[in-house]
Amino acid sequence: MIELNLIILENPQFLNFLIQIMDNKSIIKIACVGDSITQGCNVPIELRPTESYPAQLQKMLGLDFKVHNYGYGGRTMIIETSPNRIDESWKLSPVPVDDDPGCILLRNNCIPESPDKTFYSSLMLWQPDIIVTMLGTNDSKERHWNKARYTADYKNLVDEFLKLPSKPSIYICSVPFCYSENKCDTISANVIKSEVNPTIPEIYNHFKVMNSNIFFIDVHQATKNMEENFDADGVHPFKNGMTAIASAIYNAVRLT
């Protein structure tokens, strides 16, 4: 070790070579797609960069990874949630103008700003290596839920992600456990349990037979029996609930 240190000190060109290798080290880019749960809406804005689940996932994975939060409150997977209404879908909604982490990342040019200023287009420009999807909680609302539309729009979105030049791995997550019925803008625990979450593995299985880069993460199971770690609305997790989500995703990413 002493001899190696002497070689480095006596050979500036060798030192520069090592620095160049470190600078070119590949960073694995992860995009977390979701709604207010991903965004971290139950966490004060100033704490979201450290306590939202994408932020905790970043800390767990370390410097070899770059995790970006593409969560947007109230968003659905279903594109046309009601006739001629598309403004609640994640894919087509413009990025909100506020002090949330995703907006700050756009303003600081940490992730590309697309001409239409949507998280979707920004994500496609960023070309992540891994995409984590967790959408369906808002789709459970009575005015939204339609299994056929949800399934079709989910499949279309995954198809588009798979066509990216970065050839990303896709981690499809069930949505977190819901501890209330209609307390949060008619989000339905019953629909989540009996309709949304049973549909998500079906979507995963559709792709898995054709693509080995598709994985399923059971976030619903990971957040079960944790009611004390959720807000009174039964939907939004506190910090420990966020940790449970981040841990489930971390374990899946590290094992695959």
Domain count, the chain: 1
Is residue 2 included in any domain, yes or no? no
**Six-digit token string for 111:** 């992730």
CATH, residue 95 = 3.40.50.1110
Binned at pLDDT 50, 70 and 90, residue 44 comes out as confident
Examine the pLDDT at 20 and tell me if it is beyond 50: no
Quote helix, strand, coil % in the chain, to nearest 5. Answer: 45, 15, 40
Give which of 54, 52, 88 is closest to 73, Cα–Cα: 88
Q: Which domain holds residue 142?
A: 27-255
Over the stretch 124-177, which tens digit does the pLDDT of each residue have?
Answer: 999 999 999 999 999 999 889 999 999 999 999 999 999 999 999 999 999 999
CA distances to 79, 193, 254 from 133, in Å = 15, 18, 17
pLDDT for residue 72: 87
Q: What are phi and psi of 142, to 5 degrees?
A: -55, -40
Whether residue 140 is contained in a domain is answered as yes
What's the pTM? Answer: 0.84
The gap between the terminal CA atoms of the chain, to the nearest Å, is 34
pLDDT at 165: 96
CA-CA-CA-CA dihedral for 217, 162, 70, 233, to nearest 10: -40
Whether 81 has a pLDDT exceeding 70, the answer reads no
Q: Does residue 5 lie in a domain region?
A: no
Distances (CA, A) of 115 to 76, 95, 112, 125: 22, 11, 10, 11
Asked if residue 34 is part of any domain, the answer here is yes
Residue 223 in contact with residue 31, Cβ under 8 Å?
no
pLDDT-derived band at 50, boundaries 50, 70, 90: confident
Distance CA 201, CA 145 (A): 17
- Higher-confidence residue: 192 or 103? 192
- In a domain, residue 246? The reply is yes
In a domain, 95, yes or no: yes
